[in-house]
Structure 1
Amino acid sequence: MKDRVAVITGGSKGIGFAVARQFAASGAKVAILARGAADLTAARELLAKDGLEVRDYVCDVSKAENIGNAHERIVADLGSVDILINNAGTARTMAFENISDEAWQEDLDLKLFAAIRFSRLVWPGMKARKWGRIINVLNTYAKRRRPPRRRPRSPARPAWR
């Protein structure tokens, strides 16, 4: 990944943070994006303690203008994007019949349209260089039932039964 430019939305926590760590450790130039400046700073500083460098960009990817501005800054700072990890968004667990149109629209803007818009911006460069990767990460737990609880195994009952 030496000198490849990797952009990770939702990169300040969880899966995005772990992905950023791996790309930075592999020699990529890494840009992490999130809405919270404090979370981005904390993530960057934590990675720096391990000798890893990332650039952080405050960006609400549910807004098209924010995506365009972030993309311009990243290209100016790091170069053309080689790898895009669309990872922004958290799971909101609620019953299907209770999800409002507003909540659906927020999810679509944050998870689907953000991925479409960012991918559309990086695609031409990837196509011209004949190399690039776009990876979409999505947690489906937000819209499904919780799994049933399992009873704890009895100490008298062997695990192989």
Structure 2
Amino acid sequence: MPAPNRALITAAAADLLRTLQDRHGALMFHQSGGCCDGSSPMCYPDGDFVVGDRDVLLAVFDVGDGVPVWISGPQFDAWKHTQLVIDVVPGRGGGFSLEAPEGKRFLSRGRAFTDEENRALAGETVVTGAAYERGERPVSSGTHVVAEGVDACPMPLR
């Protein structure tokens, strides 16, 4: 079994990301570790958020020219068994994420990897900020775009 992508994005979130790329140029995500914004995917112009040497690159979304998705090393250690799914919902999130003026906010959903997926991922080396600077990139298993969040991450019924 090929290793699954560590991060996915819904089609609606990818559409918003394309709009933001048209307006702001190259973009990046950093999965916030908490504090004022809770645990939110923050979208910045590429390079506006300084990626640390120990931050982990989860994926480069195949949206536009590519959008890297980062998470701090300690947070990755807690989430490494979880696939991150970035979705978009109505409302304003906190902080400085670029979608805030659009009346929408990016939202992280998560799905625990199966035992088989975890075994496949165990054989892969994660790409850190330092490795990225040396030119390393994560392995991709096809597109990162899913139609809806429920396609990758089952959601409870209301």
Q: Would the TM-score normalized by the shorter structure come out above 0.5?
A: no
Q: Does 1 or 2 have the higher relative contact order (CA < 8 Å, sep 6+)?
A: 2
Q: Give 1 or 2: higher strand fraction.
A: 2
When normalised by structure 2's length, the TM-score is: 0.21
When normalised by structure 1's length, the TM-score is: 0.21
Pair member with larger Rg: 1
Q: Give 1 or 2: higher helix fraction.
A: 1
